[in-house]
Amino acid sequence: MREMRSSLLVILYGGLCGPTAAIAQSPVSYAVQVSATVQASPPRISLVWPTDGGASGYTVYRKVLGANTWGNGIASLGASSIGCVDSNVAVGSNYEYRVTKAASGYSGEGYVYAGIQAPLVDYRGKIVLLVDNTQSSSLSNELVRLQQDLVGDGWTVLRHDIAREAVDPANTNSSIWTARSNELAIAKGLVRTDYNADPTNVAAVFLLGHVPVPYSGSIAPDGHIPQHLGAWPADLYYADVPYDTYIWHDVSVSTTGADDTRNWNLPGDGKFDQSIWTLPMTLQVGRVDLANLPSFSTSETELLRQYLNKDHNFRTRAISAQRRGWIDDNFGLSTGEPLAVTGWRNFAAFFGASNTVSGSDWFGTLATNSYLWGYGCGPGTYTSSGGVGATTDFAANSPQVVFTMFFGSYFGDWDSQDNFLRAGLASSGYTLTSAWSGRPYWQFHHMAMGQTVGFSTLVSQNNLGFGQGGYDFNTDSGFIHVALMGDPTLRLHPVAPPSALVVLTNGVGGVSLSWTASSDTVLGYHVYRSPTAAGPFTRLTTNVTTATDYTDPVVTSNVYMVRAVNLEMSASGTYTNASQGIFQSLNAAAIPPNVTLILPTSNSLFTNPANVLLTASVFDPANAFTNIVFYANGSPVGQASGPLPYSFTWSNVIAGAYCLTASAMSAGGMVSASGPVDIIVAGTSPILTISSLGNGTYSISGTGLPNNTNRIEFSGSLPATNWQTLGTVTADPFGAFQITDSNLSPQRFYRTVFP
């Protein structure tokens, strides 16, 4: 019955283009923009929200996190109420509230997860990291840094490099159906094995690169039937472990009416039957897949590198955004639904109602104004959201918004070429996550108290109504298309980490640690220890230390981690928050930073006079890195100090061959050098070099335009007019050429002429 109800709603709402009658004035009317202020003595949580002249009353509910039902309300309030106070609370605990609003012809909902000085989360569990193995080598430095960042935020990483998706989902030929099933089964098998080995602690899956994409169902959550009815990408397949062996089947659905054969679904074709989910998902899942984005001139590998750099920069507060929300709503109530209400509700819990801004210029506004969260919606195509922008806008601009929700037709089917939902992750701006939010609504409000975006994804996927999930239930809730684009472990409030960690034996049987303070105002620091850098780490400090040094009385073979600790205050309360960890091994010497020169690539060719962009990537577990110095043929040409990527433009480079390197300098004075990268700067007039080969024979070599034919001439004197041709020679693809003169002349001058 439930699947029929949802399907009927899809048809009733129709495609996202036509107007229908609206009851309330705008989507914000359907929200109760609830936020919370807290105090510790006496403990109390005060809920507040803006007044609504159309309201006839409010009801407040409370439950513990994870409960599926709200029970009876704890307060019934009049039409003019703008808040209430809950004094039945304790310091160190969290509470989830729901506020409903009754009004003439419409109703409203709001949620807040509130707490007073909620305790620090040291350990977040295990995360399965599935990496497209075609990217592993090129991104080795960035992947090691990502793993250490995850460990530094409390995760244990279980990494698997797996085969890239090989079977095109648009291919309907039965000869490849088994191959499609097999590549999905292999990827899921790795997740299942890790989960079964430790079901208590395995909590998340991070898909990086073009990891096999599951398709499932016969759905059209954007309302385009039959054009878009069929199987949609379904990363819920990776989120479900306990039930997957008997729920995910491929025996009954048969649909071939969609315009794109990617959405066709036939029995046995390797695409699953499930359209909706009635059992709870288990794992937090997020995907960063930047394949098949031809609107971006940068390669897939470099887009992934750029994303991983953005991810690290955000975690370490090298980039930060204003704590406010931006809403660009181009639907209003024209579809009969308050689609943008998911932005109004969540942003109030993050920032308070007054820090949510609505407007109509996504890329123009975000070019110069930063927002931590944004919501945009409008009539869609695979590559655009009307009134918001297009994939080409992401390729040309750098929007300063970190977490995003979008909604519109077609692009929620995210495994399409130049897909709009994935394009934000590929932009050079701040964007790190994206969700197709509107059908259904998403519940992100837990992030205001330190939960991950992956946790919110799992909550949203498991919201099957007030009897299961507990949140506003609208069309297509529980459908298999609900998925997160982005790193699922990201949290809302990064703290700047300390730096320059040094660990040394102290000569009296102990270990001395010292570090440089965080650039943020923090409560202090926690110190941790583990046998290896992979963790898990055990906290050594019961209370935060305000000093920037620590003594461990025991000398063992260990790795140490230090995190800065802050009491975070959001519009939902206060919680203890920690920075990324910095690491150092006990080996009486600092771990040197690891540096890789990523631009230019080896054997790159430039034309004189050249402007050469030098870019390096650095992984430094001790966060002791200070700056990068770039060298050409052993001589320094410039430096950079961050944030990632570390870049410098070497200008007006004359013709020649250059060996480029980069060196990372640490606070303790240690230096690490990158591997060499050779480039050629070719001149329009080649530069000749004459070398004696002995016995009156000379080699004349030069560097000019690649593949150009050069005529080499000689004369006995420079002023001569009787230059004679020695021969012609064609430069190689890098502009280099060489010719030999064996005429035993005691003196000759040479020149090149383009024939």
What is the mean predicted confidence (pLDDT) over 157-181?
A: 98
Q: CA 568, CA 324: separation in Å to the nearest integer?
A: 16
Q: Write out the E strands in 667-705.
A: 671-673, 677-682, 687-694, 697-703
Q: What are phi and psi of 77, to 5 degrees?
A: -125, 155
Domains in the chain (CATH in brackets) are 2-18+121-486 (no CATH), 31-118 (2.60.40.10), 499-570 (2.60.40.10), 594-682 (2.60.40.10), 687-753 (2.60.40)
Any idea what DSSP says for residue 275? Answer: -
State the pLDDT at residue 626.
Answer: 72
Q: CA 729, CA 748: separation in Å to the nearest integer?
A: 19
pLDDT at 25 over 90: no
H/E stretch holding 8 reads helix 2-13
Any idea what DSSP says for residue 355? Answer: G
User: Is 665 within 8 Å of 731 (Cβ atoms)?
Assistant: no
Q: Is 675 exposed, middle or buried (0-12, 13-18, 19+ CB in 10 A)?
A: exposed
pLDDT tens profile 184-195 = 999 999 999 999
pLDDT at 754 over 60: yes
Q: CA 746, CA 695: separation in Å to the nearest integer?
A: 11
First to last CA, the chain: 81
Q: CA 484, CA 672: separation in Å to the nearest integer?
A: 37
Q: Is 571 exposed, middle or buried (0-12, 13-18, 19+ CB in 10 A)?
A: buried
Q: What are phi and psi of 653, to 5 degrees?
A: -80, 125
Return the minimum-mean-pLDDT range out of 58-67, 311-320, 643-652: 643-652
Count the Cβ atoms, other than its own, within 10 Å of residue 318.
15
Q: What is each CA distance from 79 to 48, 51, 109, 353, 435, in whole angstroms?
A: 14, 9, 15, 18, 34
Residue recorded with tokens 């006995």: 716
Sign of CA dihedral 533, 630, 138, 205: positive
Q: What is each CA distance from 347 to 57, 112, 389, in whole angstroms?
A: 22, 10, 22
Return the minimum-mean-pLDDT range out of 375-379, 430-434, 744-748: 744-748
pTM strictly above 0.75: yes
pLDDT tens profile 566-625 = 999 999 999 999 999 999 887 644 456 778 888 898 888 887 788 999 888 877 777 777
State the pLDDT at residue 638.
Answer: 87
Band of pLDDT at residue 14, cut at 50, 70 and 90: very low
